Amino acid sequence: MAAVHIELTKGDFMSDYQIVTDATCDMNKDILDAHQLDVIPMNVTFNDGRTFLHYPDFRNFKAKDFYDELRKGNLTHSTQITPATYLEFFTPILKAGKDILYICFSSGLSNTYDSSLMAVQQLQEQFPERRIVSIDSLCACGGEGVFAVKAAMNKEEGMDLETNAKWLNENKLKLAHYFTVGDLFYLHKGGRVSAATAIVGSALSIKPMLIVDEAGKLVMLGTAHGRKASLRKLVTQTQKTIVDSENQILFISHTDCLEDAEAVKRMVQENIPCRDVVITTVGPVVGTHTGPSHVCLFSFGTGRRPH
């Protein structure tokens, strides 16, 4: 596989298309800004009726406050992006004379991608001179963010929209997501894992090890005995799939468990030669479905799972 480089610096933005992703990207705002990535905010609603839009800067609900609410038992649900929202967000970009490359949340976890295609079809009729491409990333959480940053880097290096879209479709299954959670209650509640998987993953001292698979769905890869062992396993599994690690910046996402994310960062630095390790915070949209204590490690390699 060709080297995959992720940079955090601002590049040369001369292309005539805008890259857009959404709030499930869970990427730090400074990185999004550095690469001029537009992000569609998404709605989160508490079961008591409170609702807010989540933006990458957490302007409406701070991360710690949100996860403290979950710990108190105040459950939430998220709402997928509607075709109307896509129309509202994309139209000004098209009117400004730019094409659009949209990096979407995995179709294996949401119907958002289908909504984007409905909007694209309508907008293509309204703006026949413009090019609009929606990419099903088959990624989740910070993986979607890493994928969007890579799309931005491709653009900065001179790729046109069609070439960039082709590269993304050809390489998205090389982006591995290894993650663990405190328990599987939230994933089961949201229909992301089965009852049987949740029971196994919630057993005393047994911690689940999960991946986002080739269909963009969450599947359990195995288990570990205890939290520390599950965090170590993120690194050992990454070692089995990562390639060209020396030229990569690895990303770790977490849901209000910074100490655990920092522990994984130290393990990565001790065991995987790489350019840097960056920690990002998972927002309420994804956090609704994973709960507190979710940690995920992302890297490009041979595939989504160890051989």
- Picking from 11-15, 34-38, 158-162, which range would have the lowest pLDDT averaged per residue? 11-15
Confidence of residue 298 (pLDDT cuts 50, 70, 90): very high
Q: Are 165 and 171 in contact (CB under 8 A)?
A: no
In sequence order, which residues have a C-beta less than 8 Å from that of residue 25 and are 6 or more positions away? 32, 39, 56, 103, 142, 144, 145, 148
Whole-model pTM? 0.91
pLDDT of residue 59 exceeding 80, the answer is: yes
pLDDT at 9 over 50: no
How large a percentage of the chain has pLDDT more than 90?
82
User: Model confidence at 78, in pLDDT bands (50, 70, 90)?
Assistant: very high
Nearest to 132 by CA among 157, 104, 173: 104
Segment 89-126, tens digit of pLDDT: 999 999 999 999 999 999 999 999 999 999 999 999 99
Give percent of the chain with pLDDT exceeding 70: 90
Summarised one tens digit per residue, pLDDT across range 161-212 is 999 999 999 999 999 999 999 877 777 776 666 666 666 666 667 788 899 9
The residue among 7 and 66 whose pLDDT is bigger is: 66
Q: Which residue has the tokens 């939430």?
A: 76
How does pLDDT run across 19-31, given as a tens digit for each residue?
Answer: 999 999 999 999 9
pLDDT for 280 beyond 60: yes
| Fold classification of 174-300 (topology level) | Hypothetical Protein Tm841; Chain: A;domain 3 (3.30.1180)
Question: Contact, 146 vs 37, CB < 8 A?
Answer: no
Q: What angle do CA 266, 268, 271 make, to 5 degrees?
A: 110
217 band by pLDDT with thresholds 50, 70 and 90: very high
What pLDDT is attached to residue 2?
47
**What are the residues facing 288 on neighbouring strands?**
none
Regarding beta strands 76-79 and 51-54, do their DSSP bridges make them parallel or antiparallel, or are they unpaired?
Answer: unpaired
- pLDDT of 228 higher than 50: yes
Q: What is the CATH number of domain 17-172?
A: 3.40.50.10170
Do the Cβ atoms of 139 and 216 come closer than 8 Å?
A: yes
Distance CA 40, CA 21 (A): 6
Ordered by start, the domain boundaries in the chain are: 17-172, 174-300
122-176, pLDDT tens digit by residue? 999 999 999 999 999 999 999 999 999 999 999 999 999 999 999 999 999 999 9
The pLDDT of residue 223? 87
